[in-house]
Chain A
Amino acid sequence: MAYLEAEHLCKKYMVRGSNGKSFLQAVDDVNFSLEQGEILGVIGESGCGKSTLGRMLIGLEPITSGRVTYDGRKLEGLMKEDLRRFRGMAQMVFQNPFDTFPPKQTMQNILLRVMKIHHIGADKEERRQRCLRLLEEAGLKPAEDFLNRYPHELSGGQLQRLSIVRSMMLSPSFLVADEPVSMLDVSVRADIINMLMDIRKKKNTAMVFISHDLATTRYISDRIVVMYLGRIVESGGTDQVLHNPQHPYTKALLSYCGSVDPREKREQVEVPGEAFAGAGERSGCSFAPRCFMACGRCFREQPRMETVEEGHRAACHCMGGKSKTE
């Protein structure tokens, strides 16, 4: 049994449109499992449901249907039994390091409060010492100096390190990192990614790393799932997905991935229009209106995930050059 399992996870939001209430399917039948110490990259365009999925996994968003289990135990049960313990076990790091901390408090106050709430350390001094050690381990030296600073006195990269330190204080066994580097400069992204990999190595923490950038994700994830409008369209080992993409959407994403080398010219896949996360029922493949391979069947019947090779699956009717019928 895997450490974390998501089965048929769905999230519907009620939205008000011009013609009354309707539902928006933000996450649609998502399935995956994660072993202890494994890092799963979740890739997709803005609005495809990555954050919603991340929040559902750690109980920050009610699940519409489907289930999440940790070591075979249902999320709802774990939360009901001991919410504080569950929060200590499953943590999240957010995209914007500039507004994750209350602005008018020193880092010391912020970090010590978390420890106090979770009964870590006997007294203030012990908590402070622990804090100093954690900061040093995270490369924030001299730690003393950082503890006395206010959030606005720190750079984005430093704030994101502190945000990770805060999440890791409770030694969680599962961490959702929701676009933790998207708002940071390239020059400090490596730092944060290396820090997360280091944590995984030392603590064997399982992680879901959410990103819209395949190239960045490749450095940290063991496996990747590609999402489009709430559904997983492709999943597999990082190299499987990158070197042998099967779904037309994955192919498109790869073809638009920027390269620094001006001499490198990638053939770009045509993807007309934009993802439309509209409310209401959909029939067929949600990528069909933009897909360069779409055939009649794509508009009628939703493709199911099919195995391409061991560990590599994708949901497309026309995979592997199966011809355009009709």
Chain B
Amino acid sequence: MALLEIKNLNVTYQMKEKEIAAVEDVSLSIEEGKPLGIVGESGSGKSTLAMAVLRMLPAGTKVEGEISLKGKELLTMPEAELKALRWKEMSVVFQKSMNTLSPVHKIERQLMDMYRVHDGQTPAKEIKQRLAQLLALVNLPERVLRSYPHELSGGQLQRVSIAASLMHNPPLVILDEATTALDVITQGQILNEIKELRDKMKVTWLLITHDISVVSSCCEQVAVMYAGRLMEYGTVEQVICHPAHPYTMGLLGSFPLLYGERENLKGIPGNMPDLSKKPEGCVFAPRCPYAKEECRCGRTGMMEIETGHLTACPVGRR
């Protein structure tokens, strides 16, 4: 059984005059021990997808489809049951998670309070031990516990959030741009720490980023999203080394390289379409250099071109 299984997910934000189809017909699954990365431009629906899994979308948002965590259906689950599941079965780290911390209390006190929400039994001494252990996993000294949030750097705070997300050993951790705002060196170090957690903690992550290099260094599976839809899905090797969708190719081509010729950095001309208007055919067609007549009419579903490698494009396919 998959750890997380998403089937035909649609998420539509309800605005005053319009509806925004932020996620459309996305199906994905995550196997235990096989971290998945979701990449795509800003506004492609990555966070919306994560929020749907966490059931943290604004009230009134239309959500259709199925999401199951270890076989338990999340979308229809009563709120109370869901509360018990958060932190224990899945947790999340956002780009600026620690901004939500109170500035007037020390880290230790806040982490202990968070711990107790889901486990009121454990004695304080044991919790403290556990916290120190968790901090060590992300290379933080114990004294961080006695600091106030403002005494820590952005990188340290983000490490604290990662440690906090692991408090109750959840099998699934969602990292939404968790390292994006950090310096290259700090980001690199934290990604290394995350990779080590996989063996040390048996945790599998769903990592959301716009930076393909991050996915390439710490995920096994990749999903490429554009304008709310899944464009390509497969192993890192399949999607990044042998992309089959022109959008994936475009993203890869825009990535700046450290070495090699530097004559022309190529982008993807054009902009993301208005998500309140449903296009005919492929959403990427207006920006696609390979678009053919067949792309502009009739939608194609995901097609498997090789075991486990799926693409939404009928043209770029090998």
Contact = CB atoms under 8 A, between A and B. Distances in A.
Nearest to B219: A262
A191 B259 contact: no
Given A212-B183, A274-B156, A189 B240 contact: no
Interface stretch (B198-206, B266-274, B291-299): B266-274
Nearest to A194: B265
Interface string A139-161: 00000000000000001111000
Nearest to A43: B184
Contacts of B211: 186, 258
A181 to B, nearest CB: 10
A187 interface: yes
Contacts of B271: 155, 157-158
Interface residues of A, number: 40
B183 A260 contact: no
A76 interface: no
Nearest to A192: B267
B188 interface: yes
A187 B264 CA distance: 13
B216 interface: yes
A185 B262 contact: no
Given A189-B256, A271-B189, 5 more contacts: A186-B267, A215-B258, A219-B256, A242-B258, A262-B241
Given A185-B42, A254-B258, A193 B252 contact: no
A194 B186 CA distance: 29
A218 B188 CA distance: 20
A258 B185 contact: no
Interface residues of B, number: 43
A271 B185 contact: yes
B41 interface: yes
Contacts of A243: 259
A189 B258 CA distance: 15
Interface in A40-60: 45-46
A187 B251 contact: yes
Interface of A: 45-46, 155-158, 185-191, 193-194, 212-216, 218-219, 242-243, 252-263, 268, 271, 274-275
Interface centre among B217, B240, B266 (most CB of A within 10 A): B217
Contact of B210 (A186, A216, A255, A259): A186
B226 to A, nearest CB: 10
A194 B154 CA distance: 32
B42 A268 contact: no
A317 B262 CA distance: 32
B99 to A, nearest CB: 16
B153 interface: yes
14 contacts: A45-B185, A158-B271, A185-B41, A185-B210, A186-B211, A186-B267, A187-B267, A190-B264, A213-B256, A216-B256, A256-B189, A258-B213, A259-B213, A268-B188
B254 A189 contact: yes
Interface in B236-291: 236-237, 240-241, 250-252, 254-259, 262, 264-269, 271-272
Given A46-B183, A190-B266, A260 B254 contact: no
B251 A242 contact: no
- Identify whether the interface residues of A are mostly helix, strand, loop, or mixed: helix
Interface centre among B42, B156, B236, B250 (most CB of A within 10 A): B42
Contacts of B184: 45, 212-213, 253, 256-258
Nearest to B255: A260
A17 B139 CA distance: 27
A187 B240 contact: no
Contacts of A259: 213, 216-217, 257-258
B187 A256 contact: yes
B314 interface: no
Contact of B259 (A185, A242, A262): A242
B155 interface: yes
Contacts of A254: 258
A70 B267 CA distance: 35
A262 B216 contact: yes
Nearest to B214: A258
Nearest to B269: A191
Interface string B226-242: 00000000001100110
5 interchain residue pairs of minimum CB distance: A258-B213, A190-B267, A256-B188, A215-B256, A187-B268
Nearest to B156: A274
Contacts of A187: 41, 250-251, 254, 267-268
Contacts of B107: none
Interface centre among A190, A212, A268, A275 (most CB of B within 10 A): A190
A213 B257 CA distance: 11
Nearest to B218: A262
Contact of B267 (A189, A262, A263): A189
A219 B261 CA distance: 9
Contacts of A186: 41, 210-212, 251, 254-256, 267
